[in-house]
Structure 1
């Protein structure tokens, strides 16, 4: 197994040698004393970790970290110093420093920590993830960007939360990192807006806050935030938050996909892709309830392919199936998206037409009859055509149950069949109408 590679950059030769003595049995070590040497090496070579003293011969660790970013070199950086109190953690994290260690306290226990850091970074590949960060502090956004670059994710940064809101719901981030206090619009309001969109229900919201105020955190979780992080925080803390929340997002997305597939299997006719009999009857009963409560008008239409047995006998059941599939497509194209279309059994279909005045139904049915007549299915040298018969009734107070309105539509279908097929009979508010 190949040893992991660590680069030690420190102006102090003694410090470099001490670190090498601790680490060399476990890692391949490269040493430099200057920023220039370090950058030149890293432009052409990769390492797993950079351990950096604050002082180098031609600058300090922050300058080195800045040049690494300029050159698109992203590796975890451990900063070692004799007195950690003299270095601002906020500044260090802003420059992308992973952690700060006290020089005199470094011993062999650091080996386990280094392995964990390298393992963390080697497993980061969020190239299929999209992350949004919103903060009115340029400095904070700069720090977040440095972390996001290391994740290989796609990301967008916003100083103004209103600009982010304008992208919704079309932009569908996996994670939103929000500051709780922003002048233009605070994190609470932004969270509420995100949660209004069904498309973003699985988007993970991580709130940045400067204090662990229990009442505030409780409010954030109630309105829809998923996680929080206390500022100032390290690169490691943010990386772990991002990785863990991406994992949860993927699990939730997969559960949604499974539930959708289960719903489709339970409600869909496998051949045509239309709703099955059980589901469309459920929808019919919902329409009946809405009519009884709010007088929302709707109609029930049953249609049947004329002489379908003849098609099966002449061309075979596979072609019969193709005719059913194509009829389903014509129904979808002719009727509205709000209409509910189902396969009722065999070559029979049931359509529910809500919120349609009875005077509009003849127009819809005439259009459907004509669209079917125009259709030709090419099979070898033949062009197969077919027609349908339709029975339709609009729901009125005289009907009490789903069976009663279905029987009415079925009776009208029977009349259309007996009258020569390729036509429709409608019962609208008690008056019969024949459409050919």
Structure 2
């Protein structure tokens, strides 16, 4: 018992050290972000007003709004006022776009912003989403994976185009598969953690798929068509002002409409080509995504099978000692927190050494298998039957008092005493002694219940075996 307590203390101390390390790392990252934010804020307030002054020289509504923003930033105006001025700038920019002359005048600056803003925002959002996933992995996985996660973070910071995120996703999945194969932790908790991470990645990729690429190309096509349309409409308006006759006006208008029709057909072809390319890219993305999903399902199935093997006794098919230790700890936690009672049965085969010595280990193994086979149908789904060691078995019965557990134990005893084998025309019988204990006030761990049940087994054997005793 003392050794078990020391092991538990060592595990808790190791977990505390791990959490403290994670906390220190996160605090360092927070300090770095705050310092970076302070530096950026200082730079913005120092240089942004200078840029705004250059934009405010033309005397337009946009220029005036830029001048107001520069002055407000110098005076460290309130966020509400800054937001109000930004709204004015947005309105001025929209009005500027309505005028062809103004649009041409600002083409070098604002058109480049419009061109990059959509994709830039998508990349920033995608980068932040993946960064959150990596941080979650850092806060959960062991330190040995830190270097790989740092490499993924560095790669993430260098991503500039949407296709670059394919490599980021692949690296994260590769790390997940590596973790699955190397970890020795509770497989149920591992599966839950993996499902959470993958669900996050799937959500990110679904958002990406819904607005996948080609937006800028389509925007360029629309802008080109709109430019031709504006030029031709301006030409038609000019022709109506200078035409010498109605026939002359009709000819000029016909020419303008012909140009518009050609531009429209060209735009339709471009849009169709873009649509086909978008469909092809989406199909490629979907197939790659489906492949990753299949790999994940295979990995999940592998972990589930491994979990089953790790918790199952290979000879009898019952749960093993590892599964018993985890279950008894869970039930004890429930009892200590909510006072939910549970009972424990210890089943010990009588004179099992004599059976092995007389008839051989093959018959002994068959006796153990029959004990499990006959006992399992008498239990509920919530009960757990485990091979504790050798010829000794344990049954954990949640929400069951001592009387209920004793009744079940008696049914098990009566069922097993009917087991008979023929060995070289000799009948081999097996019986069991069963000890029963129930959680009670003062119990601190599952060991308390086990010791009482084990003592009850000892008394049952002293009284002649093939009995049920409660302690």
- Normalised by the shorter chain, which TM-score bucket? 0.3 to 0.5
> If the length of structure 2 is used for normalisation, what is the TM-score?
0.41
**Structure with the largest fraction of helix:** 2
> If the length of structure 1 is used for normalisation, what is the TM-score?
0.44
